[in-house]
Amino acid sequence: QIFGSSYFKSLLEVSDLKPLTDEIAKYADTLDVYNSGNNVHPSCFICQVYRLFTLPQSEDLEELLQILDASTSAKVRCAGVLYVRFVVPPQKLWEKLEENLFDEQELKYLDGDKQVTTTIQEYVENLLIKDKYYNTPLPRIPV
C-alpha cells in the first residue's frame, strides 16, 4: 500500500536525510500507520519512515541516529526510533534506545480525531513493551 501512495512516490525525489527530516517535521501529523478513518491509505508518517529504510544513508545507522537525535522535532525523533525498532536486532535495541527512555521532550500528534500529548519516553517505552504498533506487528523481542 505504501508503494501505491502518491505521497510516497513524491518522497522518492528526496534523496538525502536532511530534506527528509524537514519533510517529517513539516507534514507528519499522526504517528499511526494509516490515515485517520481507514486502513487503506498509509499515513504521511509511515511513508516517511519507510523512505528512511530506502535511503542509501540508512545503511550507516550511527550517522542516521546522530542526525535524527539532533533534531528538535519530536516527530522526527519518533521516526528514527520506529526505524530502529524495525531494523536493529533485538539484542542491540537497548543500546540504541536507552537514552530515549529518559527523554521528556513533549510529543503532540493526532490519533484519529483527538490531539494526544505525551513524551518521547512514553513513545519509546510503548515500542519496547508492546508487540504491535497501531495493529502492525513489530519484530519480536525475546524475553
DSSP SS3 for 34: strand
DSSP SS3 for 79: helix
Cβ(134)–Cβ(34) under 8 Å?
A: yes
Query: Measured between alpha carbons, how far is 58 from 16 in angstroms, rounded to an integer?
Result: 10
- What percentage of the chain has pLDDT greater than the value 70? 100
pLDDT on residue 45: 96
Kindly state the average pLDDT of the residues 71-77: 90
DSSP 8-state secondary structure symbol assigned to residue 83? H
pLDDT of 111 above 90: no
pLDDT of 15 above 80: yes
Query: Measured between alpha carbons, how far is 63 from 80 in angstroms, rounded to an integer?
Result: 11
- Residue bearing the bigger pLDDT, 98 or 56: 98
- What percentage of the chain has pLDDT greater than the value 90? 69
**How many residues make up the chain in this entry?**
143
Strands 132-133 and 114-119, by their bridges, are: unpaired
Show the cell assigned to 66.
Answer: 546522530
pLDDT of 69 above 90: no
- Residue 117 sits at φ, ψ, to 5 deg, of -125, 125
pLDDT on residue 50: 95
- Residue bearing the bigger pLDDT, 64 or 131: 131
Cβ(111)–Cβ(95) under 8 Å?
A: no
